[in-house]
Amino acid sequence: MVAILSGHKLVKRFGANIALKGVDFDIEAGRVTGLVGANGAGKSTLLRILAGALAPDEGRLVLDGREVRFGSMEDACRHGIALVSQELNLFPALTVFENLTLTASAGGRALMGGRGAAEAAQAALDELGLHIPLSARVHNLSLSDRQLVEIGRALLQKPRILILDEPTSALRQSEKDRLHRLIGQLRDRGVAIVYVSHFLEDLLSICDDAVILRDGARVAEHLNPKSCGVPDVVAAMLGAKAGVETGRAQATSLASAAPKTLTLSGLRGPGQLAIDAWSVPAGQVIGVAGLAGAGVEELFGLLFGRLQPKAGRIGLPSGGGAPNSIPDAVRQGVAFIPSDRARYGLMISRCVADNVSGVRALAQGRDGFVLRNRRIDAAVLERCRTLGVKMSSIAQPIGQLSGGNQQKIVFAKWMEADPSLVLLDDPTRGVDIGAKRDMHDIIGQLAGQGRVVLMYSTDPRELITACDRIFVFVAGRLSKELAASEFNEHDLTAAMNAGVRGAA
């Protein structure tokens, strides 16, 4: 079959770092091509070249048999190419309808107009199973809803080539299943689809073929998604056979003889959260599981000072009470590592050093009024080295790092602040299996150093892998506790759905 769009010997450099090393890539009509690789392998760079956001330093693009150079994403959009980026590109202050009918890749101009615009926008939401008003402001939406709005906007462009970069990273299983059915329908209509996902089981189930990048180069092995398994893909990605994670080794506790705890009593949140009594010890990774709206998000909001309780008491490990604001929470030793790192976790326009040192030096004032740049830079460099951050220097802009390395910077920022309570909200969203293992090790170290660690994930399997105990929330209340010996995905999923009518 003839490719609609091909990349030939594509090379891209960022300073001394070579992100792509002569990569060939074909996109064919009516096929879903998976793109796989560890963080920093070059996936995002390749996608941005295909979508017109970057120009290759060497090599060429061929569209419909003719060499082409995209001047911008708007130019690529005019040629029928739509990109759904891992880092969402919505306008938070605008409505859902305005975001669907306006797009940055089209230069901010309306993609459609007239009487049929609202009907088309609503049809796109219906196709994705997203039941929200077109008049809703995007900044009020959950991360999963914003991700679906981004996908809906790409569909409204009616692309010939649809590039999906981690499209399911914030989606619940029912939303993911619906999206996969839609991808199958688009494939049947002849749309060419590029699919990137760190959920390897999903990628193997939906793709017709798979291209693997490692350290900026295409791996020679050709893997057929229909006949290979996850271990085969992992081995090709990382260069060695690697088993699937089966559970975390118990961290060696460095906690003091009198470990600190998080205590909640008679707690009532502004929503439906109600916890009569709960004590969370230091030294373990405690998982918190629940469907959307079950109470986990509200709990994290209360502990991080974003929400205020209606009643009850919060006793933080630092000895303080309920924080009255986010800065107060930070001063009391609370760290929050979000799933939406671009929106809440990082200063995207700043460099690595500014991000890593920000909380310690500015919010907590531990380095005095005059920041000691040499000492801070040395600490940042050592922290990044310890976490295995791939970067050219600590002066490199955060936006140039891969998603996994960006998330490691979020960890580094909070580790520099030496928190006593760590809140992890889907902390490995959108990162590859290698980086996920690294982060699980970091999380175990945080607990082992005597901190209270609460971890939420949209993937039940990750909680089973990373946690020592799991507490399940249903309708705002603690409904079940699972010890490590009781962990299995079936029981955890059933517990999350207990008493939920019509749950997916």
Does residue 388 or residue 181 have the better pLDDT? Answer: 181
**Residue 300, in any domain of the structure:** no
**Residue 41, in any domain of the structure:** yes
- List the Cα angle 166/169/173 in 5-degree steps: 125
- Return the top range by mean pLDDT from 67-71, 385-389, 455-459, 492-496: 67-71
pLDDT score of 494 more than 80: no
**The pLDDT value given to residue 344:** 67
Residues 6+ apart with CB under 8 A from 207: 32, 33, 34, 195, 225
**Residue 431, in any domain of the structure:** no
**103 — pLDDT class (breaks 50, 70, 90):** low
Residues 6+ apart with CB under 8 A from 189: 30
Give the residue-averaged pLDDT of 133-154. 90
**Residue 428, in any domain of the structure:** no
**82 — pLDDT class (breaks 50, 70, 90):** very high
**Residue 487, in any domain of the structure:** no
> What percent of the chain lies above the pLDDT cut of 90?
46
**Cβ-contact 204, 441 below 8 angstroms:** no
**Interval 395-419: pLDDT, tens:** 898 888 887 888 888 888 888 788 9
Does residue 50 or residue 395 have the better pLDDT? Answer: 50
Q: Among 1-5, 260-264, 339-343, 371-375, where is mean pLDDT lowest?
A: 371-375
> What percent of the chain lies above the pLDDT cut of 70?
87
**Residue 220, in any domain of the structure:** yes
**114 — pLDDT class (breaks 50, 70, 90):** low
- Give the CATH number, domain containing residue 230: 3.40.50.300
**63 — pLDDT class (breaks 50, 70, 90):** very high
The b/e string for 475-492 (b: 16+ C-beta within 10 A; e otherwise) is bbbbbbebeeeebeeebb
Instruction: Say if residue 169 is exposed, middle or buried (CB neighbours under 10 Å; 0-12, 13-18, 19+).
Output: buried
Q: How far apart are the C-alpha atoms of 471 and 283, rounded to whole Å?
A: 16
pLDDT score of 105 more than 80: no
Give the residue-averaged pLDDT of 291-310. 91
**113 — pLDDT class (breaks 50, 70, 90):** low
- Residue 375, CB half-sphere, CA atoms under 13 Å: how many? 9
Question: How many domains in the chain?
Answer: 1
Give the residue-averaged pLDDT of 438-466. 90
**The pLDDT value given to residue 504:** 35
Q: How far apart are the C-alpha atoms of 282 and 255, rounded to whole Å?
A: 7
- Return the top range by mean pLDDT from 180-194, 226-240, 475-489: 180-194
Q: Among 34-48, 337-351, 445-459, where is mean pLDDT lowest?
A: 337-351
Give the residue-averaged pLDDT of 25-48. 90
Indicate the average pLDDT of the chain: 84
| Owning domain of residue 106 | 3-238
- List the one residue out of 430, 440, 416, 432 whose CA is nearest residue 362: 416
**The pLDDT value given to residue 500:** 43
DSSP 3-state of 243: coil
**Residue 317, in any domain of the structure:** no
Query: The whole model's pTM is what?
Result: 0.61
**Residue 345, in any domain of the structure:** no
- List the one residue out of 455, 458, 461 whose CA is nearest residue 491: 461
**The pLDDT value given to residue 365:** 55
